[in-house]
Amino acid sequence: MVQTPQNVPLLDVNRDNRPHREEFIEALTEVVDSGRFLFGPEVSALEEEIAKYSQADHAIGCASGSDALLLALMALGIGPGDEVIVPSFTFFASVSCVTRLGATPIFADIRPDTFNLDTDHLEQLITDRTRAIIPVHLFGQCAEIDRICQIAASRDIPVIEDAAQAIGAAYHSRPAGSWGLIGCFSFYPTKNLGGMGDGGMMTSGDAEMADRLRLFAGHGMRPRYYHQVVGINSRLDTFQAAVLRVKMRHLDDAVQRRSAIAGRYMEWMEDQQLVGEDQITLPYIDPNAFHVWNQFSIRVGGGQRDAMRAHLAEQGVGSEIYYPVPMHQQECFAFLGVDGSDLPETERAAAEILNLPIFPGLTQEEQLRVVECVASFYQKSARLAA
């Protein structure tokens, strides 16, 4: 009998969580019994663990990665007339934090190899209205954060790292979130440290800034019912903190698995001769970076990305496009009037990128099927061309 191959999901959260089920139940039960659902020792313990893990002196929990970015800009007092430089090739939240406060996002292009901020373009975009730079450590690999911080420091501009996809990543062995004035993390379930709901964290090496971030995250209230600034309500709840503390214990192991999967993809795709200008471009690893592989992102050349994705879907292999529409082309940002003529690599990446399944529980057999399906796409198109 012929066995029908199983589908390969893009991500299977249950598979990654199941081995730790007892630990989750135990941790959550403790919270239920404690009766403390906001603040409490779990939240401060997680803050300490993240601060230590990220080699930052301070960490402040908040409700999401999006809020972390927004709070960072609020604490810096950014508003109308201010410019914030940010890549266009990113998730919406890296940019919405800027426009929400009435400031203007200035879009930087990306490097074609890492998909991260192009530092030469960044330098050209700095004006006397630039109030912050938000580099994004996309897909789990740090942007050239040393150079970015140098450029920013020479002009006294604060750097806010969008490390939502990059907890545990490093550049020159120094962790994401410890380079800029503020680091922003997300615990959205698909992130490397994913919760069972929303959550976020801000890190800072500056005690005064850390204090301001905490003030803004708590209604700007200090002491109780006395409001110093107009803050928001953004808290990491205790259930999430309990879950995340369990996951913290297994984070390094999960990253090792992701890294092994990435290594095999690259080896097998090379072996199958799938790599080439008209075929696939593999992810590039910056030699200074420690990559934590939140995503495995290939380019599909020759204008075949969407056909490849359809082929994979037909074969039951999950894939996703992060991100199909760069921020300067979003309807909600049309009012900015950015035409994209100086963002060529951003637009090319949006047209070519394809993200393949990578999660700690992905098996070798499943991975083999992904590679076989990618290979069969080219055999099929070779037949069609013949």
Please give the residue ranges that form the binding site for ligand PLP (CB under 6 A): 64-66, 90-91, 93-94, 136, 162, 164-165, 186, 188, 198, 200
Which one, 164 or 176, has the nearer CB to ligand PLP?
164
Show Cβ contacts of residue 305 under 8 Å, excluding neighbours closer than 6 positions: 299, 321, 351, 352, 353, 354
Of 369, 380, 281, residue with least CA distance to 318: 369
Burial category of 221 from C-beta neighbours within 10 Å (exposed 0-12, middle 13-18, buried 19 and up): middle
Q: Which residue, 142 or 371, has its beta carbon nearer to ligand PLP?
A: 142
Residue (197 or 318) nearer to ligand PLP, CB:
197
Strand 296-300 to 280-281 pairing: antiparallel
Nearer to ligand PLP, 164 or 209 (CB): 164
Residue closer to ligand PLP, measured from CB, 202 or 308: 202
CB of 137 to ligand PLP, least distance (A): 8
Closest approach of Cβ 231 to ligand PLP, in Å? 18
Q: How far is the CB of 302 from ligand PLP (least distance, A)?
A: 28
CB nearer to ligand PLP: pick between 201 and 269: 201
We find the least distance from the C-beta atom of residue 375 to ligand PLP, in angstroms, to be 30
Name the residue whose CB lies closest to ligand PLP: 65
Cβ closest to ligand PLP, residue 353 vs residue 375:
353
In the complex, the smallest distance separating the C-beta of residue 69 from ligand PLP, rounded to whole angstroms, is: 6
Smallest gap, in angstroms, from Cβ of residue 370 to ligand PLP? 22
CB of 93 to ligand PLP, least distance (A): 4
Measure the N-to-C terminal CA separation of the chain; round to a whole number of Å.
33
**Helices 21-34 and 41-53, axial angle in degrees (round to 10):** 130
- DSSP characters over 190-209: TSSS--SS--EEEEES-HHH
Residue 333 to residues 105, 147, 281, 338, 363, Cα–Cα distance (Å): 10, 29, 30, 8, 41
Cα–Cα distances in angstroms (integers) from residue 104 to residues 40, 87, 335, 343, in the given order: 38, 13, 11, 17
Ranges of beta strands (E only) in 205-310 are: 280-281, 289-290, 296-300
